[in-house]
Amino acid sequence: MFRASGSQDIATARAGTNIAFIKYWGVADPELNLPLSNSISMTLASAVTTTTVRWDTRANMYMDEVTIDGETLFGDKASRVVRHLDYIRELAGGVPFRAKVVSQNNFPMASGIASSASGFAALTVAACAAIGLRVEKDRLSAIARRGSGSARRSIFGGFVEWEQGREDNSSVAHQLYPEEHWNLRDVIVVVDSNSKHVSSQRGHVLAATSPFNVARIDRLFSVLQEVRTAIATCDLDRLGPIIERDALAMHGVMMTSNPSLIYWQPATVEVIKAVRRWRDEDNLRAYFTIDAGPNVHIICEPSTEPEILLRLKELSCVEKVITSGPGPEPELLKHHLIK
């Protein structure tokens, strides 16, 4: 349980984003963010969001103030955060307080590195603690899901499964294994750090318009079992081909939605092909996956990581590389981003 920090009104939380091995794509209920299938991910140690929330209990503010990565957001840009604060105000008994929120990512936002997963996980933990809401992790994870589906998984560390569920209470996430279980590496290849043109929220709704959506979901039951076994036995060569196929299947659904969504750039394909070439020709054990953006996550073991980093230096399309292993659940910090 994350304990509330007394009557301080301010709290700061740090949460890792996560990389999905089996993706959450498509919603059964867009209001509650109920998915069409289970998903499995690894919470990351080094791609994190730190968020401070200070509730204005003296009622000096007339609106919420949201600053992310140094930019103060207004109107539509702030509305997703404000909506989440509204939900937390309601859970706290309908308190009228506005809040100041300052958030810092250590990686580019909205570019297929799930900043909203770590963002809404950190926001939920900090906002609940600062307002004095004492909630179990399961509940916290359900609250985070309202902000962003994948944030639900970032409330847990290590390897995490989110059960589809049929309603708010049964759509729960849980840890499969803690971060110490397997030092799997995620080499995040940033080929484009601009914001994505269509949000995942919109994409989830469009998924149902693809003729391939049902086919992908139907196969997932056995695929999820394979992934659980691969993680249980720390077997990269079993995990890798499955996660590549699911990433391609999800992007197939995106591309064949109506309207069609193409998140990839030419550089995305260049990195995919390079990973396959390195594997086929040089036995380099590395596999790719891609979330809703153009950037490629290369999944490997620590022994192969230096060679991958070296080879990525030769690809001119690569803007930046971030590396991470599995990380812990969100943490409350003593140091705040608001003075």
> By the criterion CB under 6 A, which residues form the site for ligand DP6?
20, 23-25, 39, 114, 116-117, 148-150, 199-201, 204, 291-292
State the minimum distance, in angstroms, from the CB of residue 301 to ligand DP6: 22
Whole-angstrom distance, CA of residue 335 vs CA of residue 333 = 6
Residue 149 or 327 with smaller CB distance to ligand DP6: 149
Residue 146 or 336 with smaller CB distance to ligand DP6: 146
- Per DSSP, the residues of 287-324 read EEE--SSS-EEEEE-TTTHHHHHHHHHT-TT--EEEEE
State the minimum distance, in angstroms, from the CB of residue 277 to ligand DP6: 25
| Helix, strand, coil percentages in the chain from 3-state DSSP, rounded to 5 | 40, 25, 35
Residue 329 or 336 with smaller CB distance to ligand DP6: 329
State the minimum distance, in angstroms, from the CB of residue 303 to ligand DP6: 27
Residues 6+ apart with CB under 8 A from 202: none
Residue 34 or 275 with smaller CB distance to ligand DP6: 34
State the minimum distance, in angstroms, from the CB of residue 294 to ligand DP6: 12
Asked if residue 135 lies in contact with residue 96, where contact means CB atoms within 8 angstroms, the answer is no
> Residue 294, preceding bond cis, omega within 30 degrees?
no
Residue 123 or 129 with smaller CB distance to ligand DP6: 123
Asked if residue 68 lies in contact with residue 145, where contact means CB atoms within 8 angstroms, the answer is no
Asked if residue 81 lies in contact with residue 64, where contact means CB atoms within 8 angstroms, the answer is yes
State the minimum distance, in angstroms, from the CB of residue 283 to ligand DP6: 29
State the minimum distance, in angstroms, from the CB of residue 124 to ligand DP6: 13
Whole-angstrom distance, CA of residue 130 vs CA of residue 194 = 32
Query: Nearest to residue 330, comparing CAs of 157, 113, 141, 192?
Result: 157
Residue 9 or 69 with smaller CB distance to ligand DP6: 69
Residue 11 or 292 with smaller CB distance to ligand DP6: 292
Residue 71 or 282 with smaller CB distance to ligand DP6: 71
Q: How far is CA 61 from CA 56, 74, 117, 188, in A?
A: 7, 15, 28, 40
Residues 6+ apart with CB under 8 A from 63: 98
Whole-angstrom distance, CA of residue 16 vs CA of residue 184 = 15
State the minimum distance, in angstroms, from the CB of residue 145 to ligand DP6: 9
Query: Nearest to residue 101, comparing CAs of 143, 65, 154?
Result: 65
State the minimum distance, in angstroms, from the CB of residue 201 to ligand DP6: 6
Asked if residue 207 lies in contact with residue 253, where contact means CB atoms within 8 angstroms, the answer is yes
